Amino acid sequence: MTQPMLSIDLQGAIAVLTLNRPDKRNAMCDQLLEEIDAFFSHPPEAAKVAVLTGAGGHYCSGLDLGEHVARDAEGTMRHSRNWHAVMDRIQYGGLPVVSALAGAVIGGGLELATATHVRIAEPSTIFQLPEGRRGIYVGGGASVRVGRILGGDRMIEMMLTGRKYSADEGVALGLAHYAVGAGEALAMAMDLAAKIAANAPLSNYVMIQALSRIEDMDKAGGLFTESLCAALTQTSPDAVEGLAAFLEKRAPSFGSGK
């Protein structure tokens, strides 16, 4: 029987997902992508936040070229579109996802990381898009997700030259949100995940769904969408509880959101 490539450990409200191909620097293959997709398509009922990390000192080194399958143009396009669908499920599935980054965050690994919502990088982290050096082009969403973080001009230079960015450089550019010491990313990810899990589920969901979409809208559309989100969240039972907790100087007790 094929062994799972994604380890899933549910710790209360936090689902810890570990890419488990350490001998391949957690390179992505069809089976691993399918296991990631299966989790985010039907996350456990108890999970309010996911933490995504990699075994063996690396996050994900991108597509496993050792398992490369020759495809024609249509097959390549369909394969790319499947990656897009899986990355969208991570970004928009409604479950906040925190990435604990170390080692290789390369190619498809960077596409995976930028589909998550909070990213923490250890000193060993290397961000790279080496596709141009291999005669190919990104296909898992980097043109949009990485491009919007870096801007087209900087991403062109990164791909043309195969440039590598360090953890500190990645934070400065927006590829990561935090830089921490060696071995500290997972602990911080768990701490942040616990804080996120304590938020009102509806407001977490709305933030994930709305903000990146508002970025695509014109000003008027974005402002109207903001008003809809405000109306939805501020008239919810959790908003009543949040205000009461503030006035009573206590921690709020939000509903499950299910």
Q: What is the DSSP string of 48-101?
A: SEEEEEEGGG-SB--B-GGG-----HHHHHHHHHHHHHHHHHHHHSS--EEEEE
Average pLDDT in the 241-258 region?
82
Tell me, yes or no, whether 25 lies in a domain: yes
Q: Per residue in 175-202, pLDDT tens?
A: 999 999 999 999 999 999 999 999 999 9
Check which CATH number belongs to the domain holding 243 and give it. Answer: 1.10.12
Q: Is residue 41 very low, low, confident or very high in pLDDT (cuts 50, 70, 90)? A: very high
Residue labelled with tokens 């143009």: 73
Q: Does residue 120 form part of some domain?
A: yes
Amino acid 103: pLDDT: 98
Instruction: Decide if 169 is catalytic.
Output: no
Task: Tell me, yes or no, whether 110 and 211 share the same domain.
Answer: no
- Asked if the structure places residue 258 within a domain, the reply is no
pLDDT at residue number 146: 98
- 213 and 189 within one domain: no
Q: Please state the pTM of the whole predicted model.
A: 0.94
**Residue at 1 is within a domain:** no
Report if residue 134 sits inside a domain.
yes
Please tell me the total count of domains within the chain.
2
pLDDT for res 218: 97
Instruction: Indicate whether 37 belongs to any domain.
Output: yes
Q: Is 131 labeled as catalytic in the residue annotation?
A: yes
Last residue of a domain, one of 197, 213, 230: 197
Average pLDDT of the chain, as a whole number: 95
Which position among 111, 169, 215, 241 bears the catalytic label? 111
| Residues 122 and 12 placed together within one structural domain of the fold | yes
Return the pLDDT at 17.
Answer: 98
What's the domain range around 239?
A: 201-247
Is residue 1 very low, low, confident or very high in pLDDT (cuts 50, 70, 90)? low
With a pLDDT cut of 90, the percent of the chain lying above it is 86
pLDDT (0 to 100) of residue 257: 52
Is 170 in the same domain as 106?
A: yes
Judge if 162 and 185 occupy the same domain: yes
Percent of the chain with pLDDT over 70: 98
Catalytic residue (one of 131, 184, 226, 248): 131
What confidence score (pLDDT) does residue 69 get?
72
Within this chain, do residues 238 and 219 fall inside the same structural domain, yes or no? Answer: yes
Predicted pLDDT at 203: 95
Provide the pLDDT confidence category of residue 66 given band limits of 50, 70 and 90.
confident
* 212 in the same domain as 131: no
- Residue 150 forms part of a structural domain: yes
The band of 157, judged by pLDDT with boundaries at 50, 70 and 90, is very high
**Same-domain status, 54 and 133:** yes
Lowest mean pLDDT among 49-63, 100-114, 119-133, 236-250: 236-250
Same domain, 235 and 146: no
For the record, the structure tokens of 78 come out as 């369909």
Q: Please, are residues 105 and 146 in contact by the beta-carbon 8 Å criterion? A: no
Over residues 93-106, the pLDDT tens digits come to: 999 999 999 999 99
Same structural domain, 93 and 171: yes
Q: Within a domain: residue 86? A: yes
CA distance 143 to 141: 6
